Copies of this chain bind each other. A is one copy, B any other.
Amino acid sequence: MLANAISTLDMKTGMTKKGKRCFSRIGFIGLGNMGSHMARNILKKGYKLIVFDVNESAMSNLTDIGADRASSPAEMAKDVEVIVSMLPSNQHVLDVYNLKNGLLSSAKRNSLLIDSSTIDPFVSQTLAKEAKKLGLNFLDSPVSGGINAAKDGTLTFMVGGSKENFELAKTLLNCMGSRIIHCGDVGMGQAAKLCNNMLLGISMIGTAEAFNLGQKLGLDSKILTDIINSSSGKCWSSELYNPVPGILKNAPSSKNYEGGFGVTLMAKDLGLAQSVATKVEATIPLGSLAHQIYRAIIVQGFANKDFSYVYQFFKG
């Protein structure tokens, strides 16, 4: 029983005290830009993995290196004790989990379902309730860090759910990430991610405005960087992801705004933040406006640029 396994689990090795891996077989659904790397990292640790994706070739890439394939989420769920899902939207998650022919219809009692998609925390909570009725355990566990961190196994996981389930999942999540944070009950992983990313989306635009204004006033951007980073305007965007080309060699701004975290993804996260803020009646004027600004950048044709492109959008 999973519920018992935890007491004898060595968290560092992912082994139980008797030397067995705690999960004999793991399912993974959603082999996109992020999910494919995450699944590989699980395989690398020696776990038996069964995968599913609607895209056949995405599955082949994983079966070529040792994974098994499932013909549907429901089929997979019958055979494993733990499933990780990594999907692009509320609707995809609902479809994969739904009661009729999704995960929930066939998952084994006591299975652990870990959804690493970034979605509405209320959807996570709804799924957790359905899961609980069926004797299943659910964790929301969205990630931050992007494709490179997915590849390197250095993602941050923000996890919502019971402490017990969190501890159980930690071993597995450690295969894919370097920071595994327990944020509270189910949905709180999503909540934490959305709050962080909303603040990020705002402070990046603020940074772009400040540097653009400074430049128009005749201020050297390197001098302004030094001043801001040693003053009260300091933020992650000014310090580690500066939107002005040439300030930081490895920032997307110095590489024609390629790679990094796309405007579309930021707009998606801000759309989710907006949506939940409306539900709980929270006032988020800058978050709302930030959402609209990234939306305007997409409309002007720069959907695929890194989100720090907002600096160029203002500069023109």
Q: Please give the residue numbers on chain A whose beta carbons come within 8 Å of chain B beta carbons, in ascending order.
A: 121, 144, 156, 158, 179, 181, 183-185, 187-188, 191-192, 194-200, 202-203, 205-207, 209-214, 216-220, 223-224, 226-228, 230-238, 241, 271, 273-278, 280-293, 295-296, 298-301, 313-316
Is the Cβ of A195 less than 8 Å from the Cβ of B183? no
Is the Cβ of B287 less than 8 Å from the Cβ of A289? no
CA distance A197 to B237 in the complex (A): 15
Q: List 17 A-B contacts (CB under 8 A).
A: A144-B232, A181-B227, A188-B223, A199-B203, A199-B209, A200-B232, A206-B206, A209-B284, A212-B282, A213-B287, A216-B282, A231-B236, A274-B274, A282-B295, A285-B296, A298-B316, A299-B314
Q: Which residues of B have CB within 8 Å of A214?
A: 191-192, 195
Is the Cβ of B278 less than 8 Å from the Cβ of A296? no
Contacts A187-B217, A192-B227, A200-B233 supplied; 6 other A-B pairs, CB < 8 Å? A202-B286, A203-B206, A209-B286, A298-B316, A300-B313, A301-B316
Is the Cβ of A212 less than 8 Å from the Cβ of B283? yes
Q: Which residues of B have CB within 8 Å of A210?
A: 195-196, 198-199, 287
Nearest Cβ on chain B to A209's Cβ, whole angstroms: 4
Q: How many copies does the complex hold?
A: 4
Provided the pairs A227-B158, A231-B144, A233-B199 are in contact, do residues A209 and B299 lie with their beta carbons within 8 angstroms? no
Is the Cβ of B278 less than 8 Å from the Cβ of A195? no
Q: Which residues of B have CB within 8 Å of A191?
A: 213-214, 217-219
CA distance A208 to B97 in the complex (A): 35
Provided the pairs A274-B278, A315-B299 are in contact, do residues A202 and B192 lie with their beta carbons within 8 angstroms? no
Is the Cβ of A209 less than 8 Å from the Cβ of B293? no
Q: Which residues of B have CB within 8 Å of A184?
A: 218-220, 223
Provided the pairs A282-B212, A296-B283, A314-B283 are in contact, do residues A232 and B227 lie with their beta carbons within 8 angstroms? no
Nearest Cβ on chain B to A248's Cβ, whole angstroms: 14
Is the Cβ of B231 less than 8 Å from the Cβ of A156? yes
**Interface-centre pick from A197, A238, A315, A316 (highest chain B CB count, 10 A):** A316
Q: Which residues of B have CB within 8 Å of A273?
A: 213
